[in-house]
Amino acid sequence: MVSLQISKIIKYFILIFFAVLFLTPVYVIIVTSLKPLDEVSLSSMWALPSSIDFSSYAEAYSKLAPNLMNSIYLVIPATLLSALLGAMNGYVLSKWKFKGSNTIFTIILFGMFIPYQSILIPMIQFLRTIDLYNTIPGLILVHVVYGLPITTLMFRNFYANIPDAMLESAKIDGANFLGIFRHIIMPLSITGFVVVAIWQFTNIWNEFLFAVTITTSDQQPVMVALQNLSGSQIVQWNVQMAGALLAALPTLLVYIFLGKYFVRGLLAGSVKG
Amino acid sequence: MAQTKTRKKISKDNLTAIAFLLPSFLLILVFVYGFIGWTGYVSLSNYNTIVPDFSFAGLKNYIYLFNDFRFQADLRNTLFFTIFFIGLVIILGLGLSILIDQKLKGESFFRNVFLFPMALSFVVTGVVWQWLLNPSTGFNQFLSIFGIQPKWYTDTNILAGFEWGSIEFGLPVAILAVVIAAVWQMTGFSLAMYLAGLRGIPDELKEAARIDGASEFQVYRKVVLPMLLPITVSVIIIMAHISLKIFDLVYAMTGSGANFVTDVPGVYMFETTFRGNYYANGAAIAIIMLLLVAIFIVPYLWSNRKGGQ
């Protein structure tokens, strides 16, 4: 009994030690971003602020606000479009398999693992040609296309859990491909759409490489603006910390309120059904 | 009669199915495979200028890179980054998931604490850890109590280094600072994977081993770990491809560093292509990155494809 107690204490000790370590950056962000300017010094990074001061947030927000809007204009259509296309593909690849459909799926899936550097130079030339370079719609196009593999994978795995018998009986009742999709699959897809949308929202919001190469200054999403903020020598680091929190807030809130679905997406995207 | 009718209907449905899939498939063919081909073509050209020049250069750009100090340093850094990053993500994820799975109080709190960095951008992580591992502040203020002051990402030492090519080959100490930040961000991934795996192992199986006289340690070594092997393979593959193409974390946190001690191919590709207009060199780096990723991914996808049938 005693040894059981001791082992329990050791387990807690290890978990708490790592939990503190993992939360350290959060502490530093919050403490630093709430300090008045005259208390922000390298030597007192860990000290609590003597009074709470939101001026870093005001300054960070004034610098990041336009880019936050760009991110919102980007992430909503890109998420919806890539989820819809993923649902269509997943439906076909799980419920209407044909000869070679598994190969087609693998060909699509490979696209999610490539380093995007390997398509970036042609992509930019292409976007220039169709006049979408340095525009939000151009960035939406890119995220929809390169989001297809993961959304297809997620919906395919999701639909694999819907019993074939349901489709068979609908077919006997005379329902066709589209009818089954609209009246059986779609109503059962709500959880699937939530999981995929959260995953795509998080990824597109956080993405940096496409954002920094395809857009310039006033078209840039928030992560590029945050990077510029931190790269600039004249910006105080309390403002950088406030900016980091502002930029991270949408995905953090999604995680806090819908974390269950976020984890499901994480698992759905990594293990193939 | 009825037979032919159903058959006709199915074939019409099959056509609709193909029409559903075709736009996405064509997009992937063009934007993934076509563009990779195009990048390959650029990498074999003389397009190291602002004005496009697609004249054939053979392997010139690749030969240049493999003799280039910066690219050799990149490959060295990527190697050590990948090893330490994957190793730590697996050890921490596995260890913490086993502890969380012990039915202790507060397990959902711990799970959430280890998982939330997954929801953040690598840029945010980079901005914050750049300050935490800054040699003159951050963690060093605690460590100074013990009299140690690591230089973190500003350290230019190469551990156990020896001359190889034009670089000193060995462990670049500075890259470990980037590893810490990356592990902080990605441990949640392996933790979630292992937790799902642990939940899938029936308690009876562990119970049976205990009845056979196995100690708790042996239960995990002989029963649980072997059953987690497929998950470990998935985690390694997914972390490896993240590690090989990493760009934003390094770019936001440290940049290339002195003597390129924290440089990686992703950063080199970005800077040489979009800041230096060396498009052909950039394309060659991208193709090498793709080949490195493909070594891991293609066998994985191939074996999954068979398993899925």
B159-179: pLDDT as tens digits: 888 888 888 899 999 999 999
The region of weakest confidence among A33-42, A153-162, B129-138, B262-271 is A33-42
pLDDT digits (tens, 9 = 90+) for B69-125: 999 999 999 999 999 999 999 999 999 999 999 888 888 999 999 999 999 999 999
**Closest CB from B117, B131, B286 relative to A118:** B286
Q: Looking at residue A49, what is its pLDDT?
A: 87
- Give the residue, B302 or B95, on which the prediction is more confident: B95
**pLDDT tier at B9, thresholds 50, 70, 90:** low
Span A13-43, pLDDT tens digits: 999 999 999 999 999 999 999 988 888 877 7
Instruction: Indicate if the pLDDT at residue A239 is higher than 80.
Output: yes
Mean pLDDT on A106-128: 95
Please check whether residue A215 touches B, CB under 8 A.
Answer: no
What is the Cα–Cα distance from A224 to A139, expressed in whole angstroms? 13
- Model confidence at B309: pLDDT above 50: no
* Chain B residue with minimum CA distance to A264: B192
**Interface contact B54, partner A, CB < 8 A:** no
Using a CB-CB cut-off of 8 Å, the residues of chain A touching B126 are: 227, 230
Pick the CATH number of B71-308 from 1.10.10.10, 3.40.50.720, 3.40.190.10, 1.10.3720.10: 1.10.3720.10
pLDDT at B68: 95
Phi-psi category of residue B13: left, alpha or beta, with phi > 0 → left and psi -120 to 50 → alpha:
alpha
pLDDT at position A179 over 80: yes
CA distance A119 to chain B (A): 5
Per-residue pLDDT, A136:
96
> Using the beta-carbon criterion (under 8 Å), do A263 and B115 form an inter-chain contact?
yes
pLDDT digits (tens, 9 = 90+) for A80-104: 999 999 999 999 999 998 888 999 9
Residue B11 in this model has a pLDDT that exceeds 80: no
Q: What is the predicted ipTM?
A: 0.92
- CA-based nearest distance A55→chain B, Å: 19
Report helix, strand or coil for A83: helix
- What pLDDT score was predicted for residue B205? 87
Please enumerate in sequence order all residues whose Cβ is within 8 A of that of A66, keeping only pairs 6 or more positions apart, or say none. A218
Going by C-beta distance under 8 Å and a sequence separation of 6 or more, which residues neighbour residue A48? A31
B203-217 average pLDDT score: 87
Is the pLDDT at A259 greater than 90? The verdict is no
Structural domains for chain A: 1-53 (no CATH), 60-268 (1.10.3720.10)
Q: In chain B, whose CA is at the least distance from the CA of A262?
A: B119
- In this complex, which of B13, B102, B192 lies closest to A266 when CB atoms are compared? B192
Q: Where are the beta strands (DSSP E) in chain A?
A: none
Give all strands (DSSP E) within A166-225, no chain letters: none
pLDDT of A210 above 60: yes
Give residue B6's pLDDT: 53
Q: Are A121 and B283 in contact (CB under 8 A)?
A: yes
Test mutation, B13, B123, B132, B193, chain A, max A CBs within 10 A: B123
Q: Which residue of A has its CA nearest to B269?
A: A117
Question: What pLDDT score does B7 carry?
Answer: 54
